[in-house]
Amino acid sequence: MAEPKTLPGANGKRHLLGRLFIWTLLLAAAVLYLGPIYVVLSTSLKDLAEIRAGALLDLPHELNFTAWREAWSSACIGVRCEGLRPYFLNSVIMSVPSVAISTLIGALSGYALSLFRFRGANIIFALMLFGCFIPFQIVILPMAQTLGFLGVANSITGLIVVHTIYGISFTTLFFRNYYVSVPQELVRAATMDGAGFFRIFWHIMLPLSVPIIVVSVIWQFTQVWNEFLFGASFTSGGSQPVTVALNNLINSTTSVKQYNVDMAAALIAAAPTLVVYIIAGRFFVRGLTAGAVKG
């Protein structure tokens, strides 16, 4: 018995309903995620009188950047921190070398583990992979002892060492999985032409690694910039990163709670990672899938 033919309009209607359903879900997700950012931004642009008198979702009557200036450049007295500028610079000084060094070491180790077969390579990779799953709390005490032994405790240099070491496991995983998809013929041809380990790495592998370098840099920068536990445990006073200073500012004891300053400070602390993902987010997704198919 012949099956009844589907009317052309039925498929189009189902397709339209499916797209409408998807767009509705996307719109709901956008409202869910962007709603808090809207509240934080609008609150940071209001004065305290307007915050108390108005509703949470009201737009500011006029743009007021006083809270932003106070959050950025107010003084820090004792344990009460009211300005993020010096700590923001600390985080920049900490993040740039941590990201660069861990990415370079991860690229070298991933290159060695994927394209050069030697005894124990799989064991070494498994141990480095295990490092990705070690909780921060477990390494605080031995890391503090190590930093004291090296003479870099309570300093930005100490944080650079900590984040570099902790990031190598992740960057090695990224680069190793990416380099596995690189044809072995490239390495063999370069070896036959007399190229050594580092020449192959600099002239062949690195030019092919732009997508995964972007992934590694974005991942590491986000982890280092947003990290709080190491900064609170290994630094104090003027050596603290911006996340710790933000916590101190929000929890500082004042007679009047300055919600607008707190919101402005939160946006200042989060701005670098937001900018990175807005500019390079699409490259992050492309880089993650770049080595998914071999050949």
pLDDT of residue 60: 87
pLDDT of residue 79: 45
| Residue in 170, 171, 160 with CA at minimum distance from that of residue 230 | 160
Class of the CATH-defined domain 76-290: mainly alpha
Residues of the chain with pLDDT under 70: 1-10, 74-82, 253-255, 285-295
118-171: pLDDT as tens digits: 777 788 888 888 878 888 888 899 999 999 999 998 999 999 999 999 999 999
Domain limits of the chain?
9-64, 76-290
Whether residue 219 contacts residue 283, with contact meaning beta carbons closer than 8 Å, is answered with: no
Separation of alpha carbons 112 and 128, rounded Å: 13
Q: C-alpha distances in angstroms, 41 versus 52, 71, 217?
A: 16, 13, 27
